[in-house]
């Protein structure tokens, strides 16, 4: 039984690695471009990265960084508002009755978008998505 479970896990890992290698050259380049974009933006001073994910499909790519920090969302949002505005990014106006100080902040520049989110329920509190859409 143990050997069958282990074999199943090995097959799953091989399949996931195979999917990763099935990316086109354009998709790999787009992910690398988003990773470079994320490195150009200063990280909030006390952010501790706890996770990373990326995904790409034809016409869309996203890299996501997950962080822990004891700092309140208002301070983090203000930091990124200043940093992104200085780099030519525009913050999308949030509308609706449910929008408050805990709502995500979304910034755009051409086909690129950065979304800053806070969630106290998860192990990480902050998520920053860097995405491109054709």
Q: Which helix (H) or strand (E) holds 41?
A: none
pLDDT at 9 over 80: no
**Which position has the token pair 């054709």?**
134
C-beta neighbour count of 33 within 10 angstroms: 15
pLDDT at 81 over 70: yes
If you average pLDDT over each of 20-34, 63-77, 94-108, 120-134, which comes out highest? Answer: 63-77
- Give the alpha-carbon dihedral of 50, 40, 38, 131, to 10 degrees: 170
């Amino acid at each position: 039984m143990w050997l069958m479970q282990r074999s199943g896990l090995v097959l799953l890992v091989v399949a996931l690695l195979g999917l990763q290698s099935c990316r086109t050259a354009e998709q790999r380049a787009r992910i690398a471009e988003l990773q470079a974009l994320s490195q150009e933006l200063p990280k909030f001073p006390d952010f501790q990265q706890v996770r990373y994910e990326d995904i790409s499909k034809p016409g869309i790519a996203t890299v996501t960084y997950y962080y822990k920090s004891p700092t309140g969302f208002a301070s983090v949002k203000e930091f990124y508002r200043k940093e992104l505005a200085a780099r030519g990014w525009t913050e999308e106006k949030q509308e609706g009755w449910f929008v408050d100080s805990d709502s995500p902040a979304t910034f755009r520049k051409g086909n690129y978008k950065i979304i800053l989110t806070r969630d106290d329920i998860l192990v990480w509190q902050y998520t920053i998505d860097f995405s491109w859409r054709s």
